[in-house]
């Protein structure tokens, strides 16, 4: 497991999304390793966040596969750094989310290169802002998705090495409410209470939740008012929606508009802003057909799962590209100082992915 030394090297570099210097340093390490096995590098330079890197292989007829990962992590400098190992686990920021997954992709490509001496039809995109929502990189990802037949995303696997075939869509919205201030003691009826309007809207928004089909609507933040002696002239609601079906996305978007437009308290005005951050990744027959092919190639049963969290798999899937996520190692504690990844899961995943990519080299098609 010499590749764990590579993992240690990049995990010891802080790559908090807003730490451009650190994220770019990790990307350059990956670039040096990828170019050693014949890849050419295209860099999408950015000023305030890390650059995005696309590593390109040689091309010929047949299927084209995009491998997808991200180099950024969630902790600022000084909060959670370093790297350590024991007999069963490796520990550190990004060991499973998702520097560990990037190393699985890298080592699998090395295995292919060792056998064939060159690699065709496999490209590897590493973005720098996934943890903050991919607000910049999603445009790069969407622009190249059309060039591929399949996408494998290297977020962490499930505990039983499941791959991921479904992820909820997520959107974040703000409702700004305008009322009219007045003295609560002397001029109570002259005021228009924006906070009261916000309370009515909160109740209506919460009613949109349908746990039976995986839909949640959460008003996670409320602000408004001046003080206890003043009728509130303004209120703001911050709302997150998550959904498992395109039909639920459409229902929620319409309902948000209706709730924002309706005045439950006479005299209030409201404005809705925000958008879908990542659209839903729905399990589909094309995925299941691909998994059947991968089972024959690897000689193993591939279990699947769906997740409520989002990843860049949502982005490529929404472009119509047949996408499977969860090709990284198994780990837990991601986004906490307890993040760890299973050593054995690295071996399993490298073996699996390298078999798939070697099959592609031999047969041109997955």
What distance in Å separates the CA atoms of residue 152 and residue 138, rounded to the nearest whole number?
16
Asked if omega into 151 is within 30° of 0 (cis), the reply is: no
* pTM confidence score: 0.93
Domains and CATH numbers, the chain: 3-167+280-363 (3.40.630.10), 174-278 (3.30.70.360)
In 156-281, DSSP assigns E strands to 163-167, 169-178, 182-183, 216-224, 230-231, 234-243, 269-278
DSSP string of 136-174, one letter each residue: THHHHHHHHHTT-SEEEE-SPBPTT--EEEEE-EEEEEE
How much is the pLDDT for 12?
Answer: 98
Quick one: average pLDDT of 141-153? 98
Asked whether the predicted pLDDT for residue 111 surpasses 90, the reply is yes
How much is the pLDDT for 1?
Answer: 84
How much is the pLDDT for 227?
Answer: 97
At 136, the pLDDT band (50, 70, 90 cuts) reads very high
Quick one: average pLDDT of 193-201? 98
How much is the pLDDT for 179?
Answer: 98
């Amino acid at each position: 497991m010499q590749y764990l030394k590579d993992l240690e090297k990049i995990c010891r570099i802080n790559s908090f999304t807003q730490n451009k210097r650190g994220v770019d340093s990790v990307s350059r390490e990956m670039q040096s390793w990828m170019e050693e096995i014949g890849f050419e590098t295209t860099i999408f330079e950015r000023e305030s966040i890390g650059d995005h890197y696309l590593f390109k292989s040689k091309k010929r007829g047949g299927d084209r596969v995009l491998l997808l990962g991200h180099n950024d992590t969630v902790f600022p400098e000084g909060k959670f750094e370093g790297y350590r190992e024991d007999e069963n686990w490796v520990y550190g920021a990004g060991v499973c989310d998702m520097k560990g997954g990037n190393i699985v992709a890298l080592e699998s490509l090395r295995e292919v290169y060792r056998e064939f001496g060159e690699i065709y039809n496999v490209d590897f995109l590493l973005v720098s802002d996934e943890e903050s929502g991919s607000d910049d990189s999603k445009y790069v990802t969407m622009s190249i998705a059309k060039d591929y037949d399949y996408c494998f995303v290297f977020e962490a696997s499930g505990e039983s090495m499941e791959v991921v075939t479904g992820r909820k869509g997520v959107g974040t919205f703000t409702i700004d409410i305008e009322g009219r201030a007045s003295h609560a003691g002397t001029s109570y009826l002259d005021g228009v209470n924006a906070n009261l309007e916000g309370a009515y809207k909160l109740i209506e928004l919460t009613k949109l939740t349908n746990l039976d089909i995986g839909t949640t609507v959460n008003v996670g933040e409320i602000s408004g008012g001046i003080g206890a002696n003043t009728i509130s002239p303004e209120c703001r609601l911050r709302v997150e929606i998550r959904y498992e079906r395109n039909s639920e996305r459409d229902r929620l978007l319409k309902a948000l508009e209706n709730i924002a437009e309706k005045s439950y308290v006479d005299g209030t005005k409201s404005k809705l802003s925000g958008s879908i951050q990542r659209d839903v990744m729905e399990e589909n027959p094309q995925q299941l057909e691909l998994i059947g092919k991968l089972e024959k190639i690897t000689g193993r049963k591939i279990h699947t799962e769906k997740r409520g969290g989002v990843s860049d798999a949502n982005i490529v899937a929404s472009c119509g590209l047949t996408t499977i996520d969860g090709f990284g190692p198994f780990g837990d504690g991601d986004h906490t100082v307890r993040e760890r990844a299973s050593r054995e899961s690295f071996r399993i995943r490298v073996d699996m992915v390298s078999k798939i990519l070697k099959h592609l080299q031999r047969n041109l098609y997955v």
